[in-house]
Amino acid sequence: MKAFFIERYKDTGRIGQLPPPEVGGDEVLIQVHAASINVLDSKIRSGEFKLVLPYAFPLVLGNDLAGVVVRAGANVRHFKPGDEVYARAQEARIGTFAELACVKEEALALKPENLDMVQAASLPLVSLTAWQVLVQTAKLKKGQKVLIHAGSGGVGTVAIQLAKHLGAFVATTTSTRNIEWVKALGADLVIDYTQQNFENVLQDYDVVLNSLGSGVLANSLKVLKPGGQLISISGPPTPLFAQEQRLSWGLTQVMRLLSYGIRSKARKRAIDYSFVFMRANGSQLREITGLVESGVIKPVVDRTFTLESTAEALAYVDKGRAKGKVVISVIQ
């Protein structure tokens, strides 16, 4: 099969031929029609997660997809050849920048009927991230106030829509050119980070979703009220995350040290700090499908690239200028 893969960390990556993935009993082989690019792909390529997620080479990149079931493993009960599906592949089974990919049944969901393959491929990772932050972790309630950083990014565009559906008052940060655009997604208050410091404008918030660097993370504490929640998807990871990943004692201590500063500052303000590393979850994705089909969540696709142009697409996403998601169209 044709695939985009790397042969070592910090490799640019290339298109080539690789054997198709082997299908386990609880897995589904999918003909990939489209796969979206996430910041996570660049982090994996650079080796940022090599201690947490040790991969073998050659490594096919790509974390989510939309496509058609080709073959189902012997233990698969809910999917059959011909089904149109979408998914965020599980951590150990990434590899969606390819003509074929394997996904465990428990991570899979039928594609929303009102979306094409490109639109569907843009959603799994970012929508599950938004769900696991706002619904599962924050338990966001009607009338609460939430600050979503980087509202024009992949996670931000979905998180704004989901938070509004949950009945929250939504503030977000973005650049001047995207102000009206994120308002149209549902943001109630927009902070232009080129003109204002959000921590000087906002106060008494219940939840902050952070996807940016350490400076923004620390300043986010200032806008939260006591009892509020600071939830980061960009780190630093916590000892709890290390335990959930069943990492070694040594790595757990490293993460304890990495997150000590922000956890200490949060404690002094009676704020809860947590790190969320999004996990594949087919049942949650089915809940999201319902919201998509009812029009609550609409995908936002910035640009599409061919599989042959995957390296160019990764470079484009790395610039941080995309509005919404960038998608690889595998089948033209």
Q: Cite the DSSP H helix spans in the chain.
A: 39-46, 117-121, 124-131, 154-165, 179-185, 198-201, 214-220, 239-244, 249-268, 282-293, 310-318
Q: Is it the case that residue 247 has pLDDT exceeding 80?
A: yes
- Same domain? For 242 and 325 the reply is no
- Same domain? For 244 and 171 the reply is yes
- Same domain? For 30 and 134 the reply is no
- Same domain? For 262 and 135 the reply is yes
pLDDT of residue 152: 94
pLDDT of residue 171: 98
pLDDT of residue 49: 85
Alpha carbon distance 297, 268 (integer Å): 37
- Same domain? For 105 and 75 the reply is yes
Alpha carbon distance 207, 170 (integer Å): 10
- Same domain? For 243 and 178 the reply is yes
CATH number for 26? 3.90.180.10
pLDDT of residue 51: 82
pLDDT of residue 50: 87
* Residue 201 tokens, joined: 């404008």
Averaged pLDDT of the chain: 95
Q: Count of domains in the chain? A: 2
Distances (CA, A) of 54 to 22, 48, 98: 19, 10, 20
Domain residues for 59? 2-122+300-329
What percent of the residues of the chain are helix, what percent strand, and what percent coil, each to the nearest 5? 35, 25, 35
Q: Is it the case that residue 54 has pLDDT exceeding 90?
A: no
Contact yes or no for 211/148 (Cβ under 8 A): no
Contact yes or no for 70/81 (Cβ under 8 A): yes
Spell out the residues 6+ positions from residue 244 whose beta carbon is closer than 8 angstroms to its own.
Answer: none
CATH number for 228? 3.40.50.720
* Residue 112 tokens, joined: 């929303």
Each residue of 251-296: pLDDT tens digit? 999 999 999 999 999 999 999 999 999 999 999 999 999 999 999 9
Q: Is 253 domain-assigned? A: yes
Q: Is it the case that residue 106 has pLDDT exceeding 80?
A: yes
- Same domain? For 144 and 116 the reply is no
Q: Is it the case that residue 33 has pLDDT exceeding 90?
A: yes
Q: Is it the case that residue 332 has pLDDT exceeding 80?
A: no
Q: Is it the case that residue 107 has pLDDT exceeding 80?
A: yes
Nearest partner of 166 among 296, 316, 4, judged by Cα: 296
- Same domain? For 63 and 144 the reply is no
Q: Is it the case that residue 203 has pLDDT exceeding 90?
A: yes
pLDDT of residue 68: 98
Alpha carbon distance 210, 228 (integer Å): 13
pLDDT of residue 193: 94
SS3 at position 233: coil
- Same domain? For 66 and 155 the reply is no
pLDDT of residue 245: 84
Give the type of residue at 66. Answer: A
- Same domain? For 90 and 220 the reply is no
Each residue of 121-169: pLDDT tens digit? 999 999 999 999 999 999 999 999 999 999 999 999 999 999 999 999 9
Q: What is the mean pLDDT of residues 18-22?
A: 95
pLDDT of residue 235: 84
Sorting pLDDT into bands at 50, 70 and 90, what band is 85?
very high
Contact yes or no for 197/203 (Cβ under 8 A): no
% pLDDT > 90, the chain? 90
- Same domain? For 36 and 130 the reply is no
Q: Is 285 domain-assigned? A: no
* Beta pairing class for 205-210 and 145-148: parallel
